[in-house]
Chain A
Amino acid sequence: MQFKLSSSPYEIPDNSVQRVMRNVLLALLPGALACIYFFGWGVVINLLLASGVALLSEAAMLKLRGRPLQPYISDYSAILTACLLALALPQLAPWWLTTIAVAFAIIIAKHLYGGLGFNPFNPAMVGYVVVLISFPKQMTHWVPPLMEGYSNLSFVDTFNIIFHGVLPAGASWDSISMATPLDTLKTQLGLEKSIDEIRNSKTYGHMFGHIGGVGWEWINGLFLAGGLWLAIKRIIDWRIPAGVLLALFILSNTFALYDYASFASPTFQLFSGGIMLGAFFIATDPVTASTTPKGRWIYGLGIGWLIFMIRTWGGYPDGIAFAILISNMAVPLIDYYTMPRAFGHHWTEFPHHHKSHEDE
């Protein structure tokens, strides 16, 4: 009997960039649909506009750099960056704000560093932080989520707001936009109110749901589901989101137990803002995240810790973008010190464990 011989590797994973990105986009779908359901047409317009700008910027940069268009355009990486940004930006952000954010992400944060695979910082988060710092007023244009007493704006109204800056007749920004639950909590806590007072207040109480903010808890739940699917399919490493959520849970739980009145509960922290989107879809970016198993724990825990710090004591209601960018900066260091031992080599053979090496 003849056996056919073949050399390793025996199991070939089909993890091309294109397939990974497509699966991540697919996993994004339930949460994105929830965003559209709760926040209306603004999300759709943002997604389409961001994708268009991303493709244009990508094509322009590829042409300038003398790279072939087809393989890079069709790997979905620019579309993914655009979608993550569109979901993170406020729904009524003016068109030029979305354009600046996406163009900055693709042109400066991605291509000027050498394109996909060479960028040290997550492009989507760079784009987000640029507009967050530059246009603080426009970044508050969040619409109230669909709930009792509120309805979504019509497509025409949304379109006019985003592209012409024209509000519907008789409406003002105060009547069509609303602070996010995290923002409200931060402002009110700053005014020496207790968590219970805020949750039961007539003005703000209705925006807090069972666990997170109304609407936000569903969005986060569905992003969590999509993220878990990615983790099970081994497209992302479970250690990173686990680290983010664990650090945030432990810290918020400790502080909430210590002072229930002035620290939000861990469940609220975990199901508000963009936490699940950040933990499962943005922090896990294969290019900018840590690459070693132990390093991924450190990276994830660091992000969770920073998010809690920024949310609780920082100047912004949510700190996912900053937390991820700061941790991106630490990735080369983390990777250097957590490099797994190569089989057949002793720990002391690694340069950083070999003190005398430097003294030579």
Chain B
Amino acid sequence: MSDTNYTDISKDGLWNNNVALVQLLGLCPLLAVTGTVINGLGLGLATMITLIASNGAVSLIRNWVRPEVRVPVFVMIIASIVTTIELLMHAWLHELYLVLGIFIPLIVTNCSILGRAEAYASKNRVLPSMLDGMMMGLGFTLVLVVLGGLREALGHGTLFSHAHLMFGDMAKNWTLVLVDDYSGLLLAILPPGAFLGLGFLIAIKNVIDKRQAQKQAAPSQPAIDLEASSA
């Protein structure tokens, strides 16, 4: 395809077709590790790197793999990449590796990665595929970070705590204490908080989209009378 539109790929990944908010894929890690901003960021970046690499690799071999065996081949590619990332994190980000635990190897099972390989990379050239992987990963990371921030702020009253897990000793004092003496809303850190938080993020996105569509559709027409239409 010669008419690849890089802006559209970016927009799709970040917003219109966001992995977490629209496709609702990869919710298991999304809900499980977003206790803090840094946990979310760590897993988000790991997922993004996996997506870029797997999309690139799948795109490279797309003309040689027969459709009948494509899924096992994709899964093997993704598994090798994730194993590499896991070993790298074990070596260089050992503390973060311990915090994220099982969710790093579980990136293999993140539906969005196989989903992108199948839906995009297996049909497109290498460069657009890698960009697609990056943008999808970035969109996913953004949601992880925002949700992590939401839960951390509500649950602990802080932001960016344990940043040294990722950025080393210089980040030890990055922790923002939003409220002193905060007793903590335990619900936000527990699993229900993740579900509620994600629900609110999806709702907010839908509201923004709706506003946008209304603005574009009828800038000159009078706004729809809500009272009349609901009666």
Q: Which residues of A contact B (CB under 8 A)?
A: 66-67, 108, 130, 133-137
Q: Is the interface of A mostly helix, strand, loop or mixed?
A: loop
**A134 contacts which chain B residues (CB < 8 A)?**
185-188
Roughly how many angstroms separate A108 CA and B187 CA in the complex, as a whole number?
Answer: 14
- Cα separation A108 to B230 with both chains bound (whole Å): 21
Q: List residues of chain A with CB within 8 A of the CB of B185.
A: 134-135
Q: How far is the CA of A135 from the CA of B184 in the complex (A)?
A: 8
Complex interface: chain B residues within 8 A of A135 (CB): 183, 185-186
Q: How far apart sit A135 and B192, CA to CA, in the bound complex (Å)? A: 15
Residues in B with CB closer than 8 Å to A108 are 196
Q: Which of B142-186 contact A (CB under 8 A)?
A: 183, 185-186
Q: Interface on chain B toward A: helix, strand, loop, or mixed SS?
A: helix
- A133 interface neighbour in B187, B196, B227, Cβ under 8 Å: B187
Instruction: Identify the closest chain A residue to B185 (Cβ).
Output: A134
Measured between alpha carbons, how far is A136 from B227 in the docked complex, in Å? Answer: 43
Most interface-central of A133, A134, A136, A137 (chain B CB within 10 A) = A134
Q: Which residues of A contact B186 (CB under 8 A)?
A: 133-136
User: Nearest chain-B residue to A137 (Cβ)?
Assistant: B183
Q: Is B226 interfacial (CB-CB < 8 Å)?
A: yes
Give complex CA distance A20, B191 in Å: 36
Size category, B interface = 10 to 19
Within 8 Å CB of B88, what residues of A? none
Residue of B at shortest CB range from A104? B187
Q: Hey, which chain A residues are within 8 Å of B183, CB to CB?
A: 135, 137
**Contacting pair A133 B190 (CB below 8 A):** yes
Asked if A130 and B187 make an inter-chain contact with CB atoms under 8 angstroms apart, the answer reads yes
**16 further contact pairs, Cβ within 8 A, besides A66-B227, A133-B192, A136-B186:** A66-B226, A66-B230, A67-B230, A108-B196, A130-B187, A133-B186, A133-B187, A133-B190, A134-B185, A134-B186, A134-B187, A134-B188, A135-B183, A135-B185, A135-B186, A137-B183
Can you list 19 A-B pairs with a CB-CB distance of less than 8 A?
Answer: A66-B226, A66-B227, A66-B230, A67-B230, A108-B196, A130-B187, A133-B186, A133-B187, A133-B190, A133-B192, A134-B185, A134-B186, A134-B187, A134-B188, A135-B183, A135-B185, A135-B186, A136-B186, A137-B183
B36 → A minimal CB distance (Å): 18
Give A315 Cβ to nearest chain B Cβ, in Å. 14
Residues of chain B from 175 to 231 with CB closer than 8 A to chain A in the complex? 183, 185-188, 190, 192, 196, 226-227, 230
Question: Which residue of chain A has its CB nearest to the CB of B203?
Answer: A112
Q: Which chain B positions have C-beta within 8 A of A130?
A: 187
User: Which chain B residue lies CB-closest to A67?
Assistant: B230
Residue in B185, B190, B226 whose Cβ sees the most chain A Cβ within 10 Å: B185
Complexed CA–CA distance, A69 and B190 (Å): 35
What residues on A are CB-neighbors of B188 within 8 Å? 134
Which residues of chain B are near A67, meaning CB under 8 Å? Answer: 230
A137: chain B residues within 8 A (beta carbon): 183
Q: Which residue of A lies closest to B226 (CB)?
A: A66
Give bound CA distance, A137 to B188, whole Å. 16
What's the least CB distance linking B188 to chain A, in Å? 8
* B185 shortest CB reach to chain A, Å: 5
Docked complex Cα distance between A137 and B183 (Å): 10
Chain B residues within 8 Å of A66, by CB: 226-227, 230
* Residues of chain A contacted by B192 (CB below 8 angstroms): 133
In whole angstroms, how far apart are the Cα atoms of A67 and B230 in the complex?
A: 8
Complex contacts, B226 vs chain A, CB 8 Å: 66
A251 to B145 Cα, complex, angstroms: 48
A134 vs B183: C-alpha distance in the bound complex, in angstroms? 10
Closest A residue by C-beta to B188: A134
Q: How long is the Cα–Cα vector from A108 to B195 in the complex, in angstroms?
A: 13
CB nearest neighbor in A for B199: A112
Distance in angstroms between the alpha carbons of A182 and B159 in the assembled complex: 39
Question: CA separation between A197 and B183, bound complex, in Å?
Answer: 37
User: Distance in Å from the Cβ of B210 to the closest Cβ of chain A?
Assistant: 14
Report Cα–Cα, A167/B60, bound state, in Å: 71
For the complex of A and B, list the 10 residue pairs with the smallest distance between their C-beta atoms, beginning with the closest: A134-B187, A134-B186, A66-B226, A134-B185, A66-B230, A133-B187, A130-B187, A133-B186, A66-B227, A133-B190
Q: Which residues of A contact B190 (CB under 8 A)?
A: 133
How long is the Cα–Cα vector from A134 to B193 in the complex, in angstroms? 10
With the chains together, A73 CA to B187 CA distance in Å?
29
Min CB–CB distance A104 → chain B (angstroms): 9
Cα of A66 to Cα of B231 in the assembled complex, Å: 9
What residue of chain B has the Cβ atom nearest to residue A108's Cβ? B196
Note all chain B residues with C-beta closer than 8 A to A136: 186
Could you say which residues of chain B place their CB within 8 Å of the CB of A133?
A: 186-187, 190, 192
Q: In the complex, which residue of chain B has the Cβ closest to the Cβ of A65?
A: B230
* A137 to B185 CA separation, bound complex (whole angstroms): 12
User: A residues within 8 A CB of B230?
Assistant: 66-67
Q: Which residue of B lies closest to A94 (CB)?
A: B183
Nearest residue in A to B183 (C-beta to C-beta)? A135
Smallest CB–CB gap between A100 and chain B, Å?
8
* Chain A proximity of B20: nearest CB distance (Å): 20
Specify the chain A residue showing the minimal Cβ separation from B189.
Answer: A134
A57 shortest CB reach to chain B, Å: 16
For residue A27, give the distance in angstroms from its CB to the closest CB of chain B. 32
